[in-house]
Copies of this chain bind each other. A is one copy, B any other.
Amino acid sequence: MARAVTSAGRVVEILRELILDNTFPPGARLAETELAEQLGVSRTPVREALRQLAAEALVELPPNRGARVASWSLDELESVFELRATLEPRLTGMAAARAGEADIAELDELATRMLAVGSPGPDQDRDALVPLNTAFHGKLVRLADAPAFAAALAGAVRTPLIMRNFHAYDDASMRRSLAHHIEIVAAFRAGDPQWATAVMTAHLRNARAVMLRTVAPHSVQRDEQTH
C-alpha cells in the first residue's frame, strides 16, 4: 500500500491496522489526546483519522463522548458472511471470464504456496497464510474489474475476526479451504465461471461454519479498556 504523505493519512493506516490486529479490541476507547501523544502528532490529524474510520464503520464516534472501536454482534458478523457469500462468488465468476494466462499463473502460485504453508503438519504456518490469502482474494477483486463490488467488499472485509483468523480452522476445514483455492485456479484454467462461482460459494460457507463455531460459544460483544 502506498504510504500516505499526510499525517492524518498515516494515522488512519496505523489505527486501522491496530484495530484489525485486535491490538485495540472492540469497545476499546480511543482517546484523542493519548493517541496524539503516542503517535507524535497533534490532535488535529488524529481527529480527522477518527472521522474517516468512523465513516468506514471501524470506530463509533458519538458526539462529545470520544471514539471507541466498533463492536460486532453475532448477527452482524453473520450478515457480513452473507454479504460476502453474495458478492464474492459472483465476483469470482466475473474474474474467471477475464483472467489471462499470466493472471492464472499468479493465482496458481499463490494457491500453491498457501497449500505448502497451510497444510496441517509440522511446517504449518497459519500466520503466513494471511498475506497470501489477502493477495489471492485481492487478485480476484482486481480481475473482476467492478469498482462498486470492490468497494462494497472492502467494507465487509474490514471486520476483525474475518480474513485474519486462520487459527480457528480445524484440520479438515483448513484442508478444504486450501483445496478450494487450488480448485478455483482449475476452474479458471478450464474457462468455467460457473465452476469458479460454485467453489467460491463453498469456500465462504466453509469459512462461515468455522466462524460460527468460534464465535458462538463466547459473546462477541466486549467492552474492554486499554490502560
Whether A75 sits at the interface, judged by CB under 8 Å, is yes
Whether A149 sits at the interface, judged by CB under 8 Å, is yes
B63 near A148 with CB under 8 A, answer no
Whether A9 sits at the interface, judged by CB under 8 Å, is yes
Whether A138 sits at the interface, judged by CB under 8 Å, is no
Complex-state Cα separation, A59 to B24, whole angstroms: 29
Whether A226 sits at the interface, judged by CB under 8 Å, is no
Whether A190 sits at the interface, judged by CB under 8 Å, is no
Complex-state Cα separation, A80 to B146, whole angstroms: 8
Complex-state Cα separation, A155 to B155, whole angstroms: 9
Complex-state Cα separation, A149 to B156, whole angstroms: 9
Whether A5 sits at the interface, judged by CB under 8 Å, is yes
Whether A47 sits at the interface, judged by CB under 8 Å, is yes
CB under 8 Å from chain B, chain A span 142-197 = 145-149, 151-152, 155-156
Given A151-B155, A155-B151, also A51-B8 (CB < 8 A): yes
**Count of A interface residues, CB-CB < 8 Å:** 35
Whether A123 sits at the interface, judged by CB under 8 Å, is no
What's the nearest-Cβ distance from chain B to residue A53, in Å?
Answer: 8
Whether A18 sits at the interface, judged by CB under 8 Å, is no
Q: Which residues of A contact B (CB under 8 A)?
A: 4-6, 8-9, 44, 47-48, 51-57, 63-64, 75-76, 79-80, 82-83, 86-87, 90, 145-149, 151-152, 155-156
18 A-B contacts (beta carbon < 8 Å): A4-B63, A5-B63, A6-B64, A48-B48, A48-B51, A51-B51, A51-B55, A52-B54, A57-B151, A79-B149, A82-B148, A83-B148, A83-B149, A83-B152, A86-B86, A86-B87, A87-B152, A148-B156
